[in-house]
Structure 1
Amino acid sequence: MTESILSAPPFNLQHTLLPSINFKEWMLERAMQLQPGLFAKLLMIIHGVWRNRNNTLWHDKTQTAQDLVLSSLTWLEEFTSAHAVNSKSNRMQQKAWKPAAQGSLTLNVDAAFLPDQHQGGIGGVLRDYQGRFKAAFACPIPYTASPKQCEMLAIHEGLDLLHSLQEQNVVVQSDCSEALAEIYVENHSLLANGGIVDDIKQVWHQLTGVQLIHTPRNCNQAAHRLAAIGFEATHDSVWLHDAPECILDVLAYDCNKLN
């Protein structure tokens, strides 16, 4: 069985290249001669052959050559995908929420959206340079056409909150780079969301020292939690001075990362 597998695609090893006496030396040669991806497949096939041998001896269950190859390569694909996700997660975990410099506030905003329901929710949280809570909001959006539009509504609501509180020197953080890019377009009247962009800029121009910047999604967890609350809500909610219980753990986590 092993000979038939290794002499067929994707290995196509000639019979003279199949292991004869010294298996260790043969494997070292294959490691040097085969591409890394193909060598990984060879290792999985050999493991599959060994496992098939044990199942035959101890459980009287034998796989065909085709089933053995498919199961081994499927397991390798799942392992590679899981390893790639874990590597990406580890890289993302290195980033943490960062407040604006001393003397400025940070407003994180986010949106939740379900295309099948054409509705959404938005939320935002305002904190000082030490991560201390100042204000927050969570609102349902009865109808929205796209995630980007919902993100723009979150930014607009956040700016409205700053205007009502008469706050200055605020860094507004959103994890939607597409929404921010459209807001910065000068001739926005031709955009699909041009009306919302116009509303945003009208409020923005009434504020002093307010910046709109992008932040990674994993640095926007408090606003994400509030957007989910807004999605399920039936009315708008605003919190001042005392943070809602639903984000206390996230606020504490972000503050701990600052120390």
Structure 2
Amino acid sequence: MLTPRVQQKWEKPRHCVVKVNCDGAWNVQTMKGGYGWVIRDFVGMLQAGGNEDMRYGSALIVEVDAIRATVVACQQGGFSHIIVESDSLSAIQMVKRDSVVDVEVEGLLFDIHVVTRELQEVTFMYAPRSCNTAAHEVATFVYRNGGLFWWDFIPPEWLFNTLACEANVSVRL
């Protein structure tokens, strides 16, 4: 029996497809959370963003909201062929309808499915943290700094090296 290959590092999408990595950050004491995402094509970064200053009841809600925000960002950006990667296996399984849906995320899942019907090709995939580093850094930054963030084409310096490393580019700042 063949064991499925588990991705160990971020992989570029094929031509004409964008890959969106997303992640959530949540604090159980304050119930505050936020999320971050990075949209990249086969060459490199196109956009990144995130939002914070919201109250969530669990880490799962933040992770599913991160997925919702990524598909909305792709729709608004005019991308119709996307791969969405998250390091939350349970969130990905619920989005793909591979597991029982937790009632606390049912509304977010509905939103995700409505938006994805407007896109031509959407694939949801689990990616271990080692493949989701850039999105994790964005989520952490957004959570710590608060507010709504959006970067087009030129990432902030603190994110540049992670993106270059993941894309196997040797340029460093």
- TM-score over 0.5 (shorter chain): yes
**Interval containing the TM-score (normalised by the shorter chain):** 0.7 to 0.9
What's the CA shift string for 1:121-149, capped at 9, x where partnerless? 1000011113x110010210420011111
Is residue 34 of structure 2 the alignment partner of residue 126 of structure 1?
no
More helix by share: 1
Is residue 14 of structure 2 the alignment partner of residue 104 of structure 1?
no
Report the secondary structure of 1:201's partner residue.
helix
Equivalences, count: 165
What's the CA shift string for 1:9-68, capped at 9, x where partnerless? xxxxxxxxxxxxxxxxxxxxxxxxxxxxxxxxxxxxxxxxxxxxxxxxxxxxxxxxxxxx
Is residue 146 of structure 2 the alignment partner of residue 225 of structure 1?
no
Report the structure number with the largest CA radius of gyration: 1
Contact 2:61/2:104, CA 8 A, preserved across alignment? no
| 1:154-233 equivalence runs, <5 A | 154-185=66-97, 191-233=103-145
Q: What is the aligned-residue RMSD (CA, Å)?
A: 2.3
Deviation at 1:213, TM superposition (A): 0.9
Report the secondary structure of 1:108's partner residue.
strand
Q: Aligned partners of 1:206 and 1:187: how far apart in 2? A: 24
Is residue 153 of structure 2 the alignment partner of residue 241 of structure 1?
yes
- State the match for 2:167 in structure 1: 255
Q: Aligned partners of 1:205 and 1:153: how far apart in 2? A: 18
TM-score scaled by length of structure 2: 0.87
Identity between Structure 1 and Structure 2 (%)? 24
Contact 1:121/1:229, CA 8 A, preserved across alignment? no
| 1:74-93 equivalence runs, <5 A | none
Contact 1:151/1:179, CA 8 A, preserved across alignment? yes
Contact 2:53/2:146, CA 8 A, preserved across alignment? no
Q: Aligned partners of 1:221 and 1:190: how far apart in 2? A: 26
Contact 2:36/2:51, CA 8 A, preserved across alignment? yes
Q: Aligned partners of 1:115 and 1:162: how far apart in 2? A: 29
Long gaps (5+) in structure 2:
1-5
Deviation at 1:257, TM superposition (A): 7.1
Long gaps (5+) in structure 1:
1-91
Deviation at 1:150, TM superposition (A): 0.3
What's the CA shift string for 1:193-232, capped at 9, x where partnerless? 1111111111111112121111111110000000001112
- 1:242 partner letter: I
Deviation at 1:110, TM superposition (A): 0.5
- State the match for 1:150 in structure 2: 62
